[in-house]
Structure 1
Amino acid sequence: MLPYTTYLIDLDGVVYRGNELLPGAREFVQWLEANGKKYIFLTNNSFATGSQILAKLERLGIPATPEHLMSAGQAAMQNIARRLPGARVYIVGEQPLVELAQEYGLTVVEVDAEEADVVLVGLDRFFDYSKLTCAVRIVLAGALFITINRDPLLPIAGGGFLPGCGTLAAAIEAGTGVTPEVVGKPEPMLLLEAMERLGSKPEETVMIGDGLDVDILAGQAAGTHTILVLSGRNNRADIEVSPIKPEHVYEDLADLLRQLQQVKS
């Protein structure tokens, strides 16, 4: 634990489950603050805004500020703005994603545009044939093609599903033959952009998550250390049969915190 100056922390299944705060989450964040650690909460969510996620953390008793949260949408904008400052972006997505692009100094083109530098795909409940046609034409003309994540389905309250942004990206991919760059976990871009913001290196950073094939795989791809907590998706039996092995395993953040408190910061 001694080399870890930076903690990248998944939310659902690690900090909370639904509207329930998980054991040790509040105390773990207090420990990070007290010991001067750098940390960011990470989420693949392309639908909820940053303010909505921060408000949820506040309701659960975890004070959080914007610098301690990075969504896959933010990571995408940060990455595009660094590679193509002021780029024209065609967005398959809803208003929060449009506003986020504008915050990063990017130019959002109209939904019927014929040209752009980038096609960026997020969750879009108003996706239609016209948007598909424009996105396909722009990618075929040479635009960079990026999707927030490749999740085909988005779970919703009551046990149902919506098509996720991965489904929308797949339609554009089918029409163009171009494979999109993926921002969200298990790809490494979200983690790399978080470390870019914090000024941290992979060797001093640890990814904490509850999913072997999402969080731990992303950490390995980004070159960070990895911690799996068993308060979410995976259990010890899953670890036994998975080719993806975390460096450390704890029951939850409370269990992790007990270990950290035994190590001199």
Structure 2
Amino acid sequence: MQLPYSTYLIDLDGVVYRGETLVPGAADFISWLDTHHKKYLFLTNNSFASETQVIAKLGRLGITTDKSHVLGAGQAAVQNIAHRFPGATVYVVGEQPLIDLVHAHDLQVADPDAHRADVVLVGLDRGFDYKKLTGAVLAVRAGATFIAINRDPLLPTAGGAVPGCGTMVAAIEAGSSVKPEVIGKPQPALLQEAVLSLNSTVDETVMVGDTLEVDILAGKAAGTHTLLVLSGNTTRTQLAASSITPDHVYENLATVMADTPARL
């Protein structure tokens, strides 16, 4: 493989796997990264328990990894808060894994009845109710920094789509009239935190993804190089019609390994 990068940020669905099937070349690609001592992280916009889920799924598919190679938008959001607001009090709209992350980074979790905090952090919360909505809205209106893990309105499940993190974010935004900072792709913060975590620079980093409007746009916003694979969401027709131009285009990770770029 001829790509000249030391650091790889890798989307999962459509790049490494599709459903419960590995994309051709995925296992060889990860083995190459390990053998050549490349820095890499799998990135996910998921807002809860994502690292554990990713590790388990990759293991089922034959790729062994650990938490040092996975960064979810929830983890990145808490890291971002800890960097910017050390010791801050955070009003958390989210589930226990997100609360545990906040505690693990020496941040304080606001009392739900306090209605004041330094930061309001919003992830997926399947116990979201009027009390949490009120607390979050009042804290933002009182001056708290409003941070959303992602704006995905729906969450795919085995039984069909259900409301996602973005639905809760939209409700708080409507009540507070404040637009949130968003950590997940296509915003650049997830990639920026990934580069920082790996002690790399954007110049030596490439974002590998399958979606122009999410992965490639995020890479461009963060200042990394970009590599699109056509094994997931983006078709040749969509690529040809788009104003978003990746630095590299390959059919899949197998052609990345063979260094045979896709020809439009």
Report the TM-score, using the length of structure 2 for normalisation.
0.95
Matches within 5 A, 1:130-169: 130-158=131-159, 160-169=160-169
Matched residue SS, 2:259: helix
Q: Does 1:180 align with 2:180?
A: yes
Instruction: Give the 4+ runs in structure 1 shifted more than 3 A.
Output: none
Q: How many pairs are equivalent? A: 259
Compute the RMSD of aligned alpha carbons: 1.2
CA contact (8 A) 1:24 1:257 kept: yes
Aligned-residue sequence identity (percent) comes to 63
**Contact residue 49 and residue 96 of structure 1 kept, 8 A:** no
What are the residue-to-residue correspondences of 1:61-100 with 2, within 5 Å? 61-100=62-101
Q: Distance in 2 between matches of 1:18 and 1:106?
A: 36
Query: How far is the alpha carbon of 1:114 from its aligned partner?
Result: 2.0
Question: Runs of 5+ in structure 2 lacking a partner?
Answer: none
CA distance in 2, matches of 1:113, 1:251: 52
Deviations 1:55-112 (A, max 9, x none): 1111211111111110000110111001111111111111111111111111112322
> For residue 202 of structure 1, what is the amino acid of its counterpart?
V
Whether the 8 Å contact between 1:212 and 1:244 is mirrored in structure 2 is yes
Q: 2:44 touches 2:50 (CA, 8 Å); kept in 1?
A: no
Deviation at 1:2, TM superposition (A): 4.8
1:225 aligned partner: 225
What do the CA deviations read for 1:15-66 (whole angstroms, capped 9, x no partner)?
1112211111111010001111110000001134312221111121111111
Q: Show the counterpart of 1:52.
A: 53
User: What are structure 1's unaligned runs of at least 5 residues?
Assistant: 261-265
TM alignment of 1:10-49, pairs within 5 A: 10-49=11-50
Tell me what 2:128 maps to.
Answer: 127
In structure 2, C-alpha distance between the alignment counterparts of 1:88 and 1:126, rounded to whole Å: 21
For the 8 Å contact 2:55–2:66, the answer to whether it is kept is yes
Q: TM-score, normalised by structure 1?
A: 0.95
CA contact (8 A) 1:153 1:164 kept: yes
Deviation digits for residues 145-202 of structure 1 (CA, Å, limit 9, x no counterpart):
00001111112214x2111111111111111111000000000000000000111111
1:215 matched residue in structure 2: 215
Paired residue type of 2:40: Y
